[in-house]
Structure 1
C-alpha cells in the first residue's frame, strides 16, 4: 500500500470514525494526539488490505473508499461480497485484542485511504478512554451477532440444498440417496418401538414398450402420474421414493403386512385407472403396475427387506403383472 501522510497532517474529523463517536471533547483531543503519528495509507482497487495469512496486529480505519471480505482479489467477487466496510468503519480489531493473525482477508473494492493504528497505540486508547473501550465492545457485539446470523443463514441454505438433493427431480418423490440415508433409521425406530414396518416395491408394467410407442416425454408423464397416485394414497407418516427407472418404493411404518396389502391393492387399482394423457385417438392411454410387498422380518436390514419386496414384485410379474404379490 502507498504511504500518504501521518494523521496529524490531516484535518479529518475523528468524530466521524465509528470507534470514536459519542466521546467527550477532552477525550477526542487525547485520541487525536495519540494517533497523530499513525500513517494514512492508500490501497488501490483490488489490493489486499488485511491478509488472513499475515501475523500483523494493526487496526485499520477506513477514511475513504470501500473494503470487502474476500478470498482473493477478483473484482467481481469483491463487488458482490455480502460483507463490506465503508468510511468510518474499522477492521482488524480482533488481531489487536488477541495479538494473533487476522481472521479474514479483506481487500479494497475501490481506491481507499486507511488510518493504520498499531496495537500499542490501540491499547493506550483503550486504557485511557472509556469511550473507546465502550465503542469497541459495541462493535465486537455487533460483529458477533452478524457472524451468528450469517452462520444461521448458511445452515438454512445448506439444509435447503441438502433436502433438495434428496428429492427426485422428475417425480417429486424422495430419491435413492434419501432412501439409503433414512431407511436404516426407520428400521431402527420400528425395532425400538416393537412395531411393524412394511415395504412395497412398485414397477410400471411394460414401461419400455410404453416409451417406444408414445415417446420419452409421455413416458416421463406416466412416471409423474404414477408418483402422484402413490403420494396421494399414503398417510403423512408414510414415505415414497423413486428407486430407479420406473421402480418406486413405499415405506409404511407401524403397518403390518395385512394392512399394507390393503394399501398396495388400492394403489394398484388407482394406477390402473389413471389416464396419463387425454387422447381418444390413441389406444391404451393407461398404465398398470406390479407391486411386491414384504414386511420387516427379525434380523433383516434395509437391503434384506427390499430384497424380499423385490422378490414379491417378480412373483407379481410372473403371474401376469397388474397385481400385488406378497
Structure 2
C-alpha cells in the first residue's frame, strides 16, 4: 500500500462518497476541510487492504477500482466474491467505532486508489455533522441486514447439502446415515407417546443371480424400480431407506402389526409385477422380494426392532422367498 497524494489533490467530490451523501453543502465544505490532509494510497490487485492483522482503526474509501470481501486473495475467489465495494463506498467503519481488529478480509480485486480516514478524523466528523452520523447508522444497518441475509442463505444451503447427504444416490431413498440419525428419535417418540411403530425389512430375491444374468446396469435399474414401488406404496408419514446392497428398510409410525402386514403384502405383490426393462423386445426379468415384519415392543431400541425384522426376513427366505414373514 503506497501513499501517492492527499485528498486535496484529487478530483473526487466529497458528495460522491456514500458516507457524505445528502448533506447540506455548507457541511460538505467543513467535511472537505477535514479530509483534505487525509492520505490517498494505491493498492495493487490481490493486495490485502483490511484483515485481522491490520494495525490502527481506519476507514477506507474507494476512489477508484474495486475491493472485495474474500476468503483468500486468489484471483478467482476475488472475482466470485459475493460482496464487492466500488468507487464511493467504504470499508472499515466498524473497526473505527469499536477500535477492534477487522473480522473480515478485504482485498483489492483490481488496482485501486483509497482515501484513508483515521479514527480521530472520523470521530470528529461524526461529532460535528448529524448528516454523517445518520449516514453511518444507515450504512451499518445495511451491513447488518446484508450479513443476516447471507447467514440465512448459508443456513439454507447447509441444510440442502445436509439433506442431500441423507439420500441414497441410486434409489432416491434415505440412506443409512439418515436411518442412524432419525430412527432413535422415532423410537423414542413411539415409546413416549405409547404409540405403535412397525418396521419392514425388504430384500430383493436372488439379486446376485439377477446381476450375473442381466448385468449390473440392469441390476441398478431393478433396484430403482423396487424403490419406486416402495415409495409409491407408503403414506407421507412413513419412511423408507436403503439399508445396504439390495436391502431396504421401511418404518411405519403409528402402525399396528396388522396394518403393517397389509402394507408389506401389498409391496410384495407390486414388486412381483414390476417391469424393469422399459422395452418390449427383451423378456421381462422376474423380480421378487422377501419381507420381514416386526412391531416395536416395550423397552426395545432401534437395533433390537431391526434385528427382529431381519430375523423375520430370513424366515421369509427360508420358506421360499417372494413372501412376508412375521
Distance in 2, Cα, partners of 1:189 & 1:51 = 48
1:55–1:102 contact (8 Å) kept in structure 2: no
* Shift of residue 198, structure 1, vs aligned partner: 0.3
Matched residue SS, 2:82: coil
Aligned twin of 1:143: 143
How far did residue 26 of structure 1 move?
A: 1.2
Which piece of structure 1 moves more, 5-14 or 79-88? 5-14
- Separation in structure 1 between the aligned mates of residue 272 and residue 293 of structure 2, nearest angstrom: 18
Runs of 4+ in 1 over 3 A off after TM superposition: 278-284
Partner of 2:245: 245
3-state SS of the aligned residue for 1:141?
Answer: helix
CA RMSD, Structure 1 to Structure 2 (Å): 1.1
- Please give the per-residue CA displacement for 1:72-121, whole angstroms capped at 9, x wherever unaligned: 21111111111100000000000000000012111111110000000011
Instruction: Report the number of matched residues.
Output: 326
Q: Secondary structure at the match of 2:299?
A: coil
Pairing 1:18–2:4 present: no
Aligned residue in 2 for 1:39: 39
Q: How does 1:295-314 map to 2 (within 5 A)?
A: 295-314=295-314
Alpha-carbon separation, structure 2, partners of 1:259 and 1:242: 22
| Structure 1 residue 279, shift from structure 2 partner | 5.7
State the SS of the aligned residue for 2:192. helix
**Do the aligned partners of residues 40 and 303 (structure 1) sit closer, same or farther apart at CA in structure 2, a change above 3 Å counting?**
same
Q: Which runs of 5+ in 2 are unaligned?
A: none
Shift of 1:282: 4.8
Following superposition, the deviation at residue 283 of structure 1 comes to: 4.8
Residue equivalent to 2:91:
91
* Residues 204 and 287 in structure 1, CA contact (< 8 A), matched pair in contact too: yes
Deviation (angstroms), 1:264 = 0.6
Shift in alpha-carbon separation, 1:281–1:117, aligned structure 2, 3 A: closer
**8 Å CA contact 1:56, 1:102 repeated in 2:** no
**1:155 matched residue in structure 2:** 155
Deviates more, 1:164-173 or 1:86-95: 164-173
**TM-score normalised over the length of structure 2:** 0.98
Equivalence for 1:272? 272
In 2: Cα distance, 1:304 partner to 1:127 partner:
71
> Does the residue aligned with 1:60 lie in a helix, a strand or coil?
strand
Unpaired stretches in structure 1, ≥5 consecutive residues: none
How far, CA to CA, are the matches of 1:282 and 1:6 in structure 2? 83
Normalised by the length of structure 1, the TM-score is 0.98
